């Protein structure tokens, strides 16, 4: 993630098992009693690279975790996001 950010790439990566520097436990504890469809955004700088950690609880039992390079898009509700697939060369606009 840091290398991508330093080279100017924008990326959203799902964090699953390799979460050594990711605040997964903090996010899980914060979202534990929250209703579904809520998210938390944490901001940091690591080795000079601005990064975001996003936890998204889509139900009361399950949360997803993402590492994000800063300026990849908005985390505001209802913001339009341009999604691109580098494998298929397609793009589409979605509303969060």
Q: Give pLDDT tens digits for 32-89.
A: 888 878 889 999 999 999 999 999 988 877 889 999 998 887 777 776 656 555 555 5
Q: Is the pLDDT of residue 96 over 50?
A: no
CB-CB contact of 58 with 37 (8 Å): yes
- Taking 60 as the threshold, does the pLDDT of residue 91 lie above it? no
Produce one character per residue of 38-56: b if its CB has 16 or more CB atoms within 10 Å, e if not: ebbeeeeeeeebebbbbbb
Number of folded domains that form the chain: 1
Reported as a pLDDT band with limits 50, 70 and 90, residue 94 is: very low
**Strands of 8-48, DSSP E:** 12-14, 38-46
Q: Which domain holds residue 45?
A: 2-95
Q: Give the Cα separation of 49 and 1 in Å (integer).
A: 9
Residue 52 to residues 2, 33, 66, 88: CA-CA distances in angstroms? 11, 22, 8, 26
Whole-model pTM: value is 0.75
């Amino acid at each position: 993630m840091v290398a991508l950010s330093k080279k100017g790439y924008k990326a959203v990566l799902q964090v699953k098992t390799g979460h050594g520097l990711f605040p997964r436990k903090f996010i899980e504890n914060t979202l534990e009693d929250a209703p579904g469809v809520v998210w938390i955004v944490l901001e940091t700088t690591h080795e000079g690279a601005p990064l975001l950690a996003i936890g998204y609880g889509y139900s009361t039992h399950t949360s997803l975790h993402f590492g994000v390079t800063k300026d990849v898009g908005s985390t505001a509700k209802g913001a339009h996001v341009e999604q691109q697939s580098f494998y298929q060369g397609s793009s589409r606009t979605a509303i969060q």
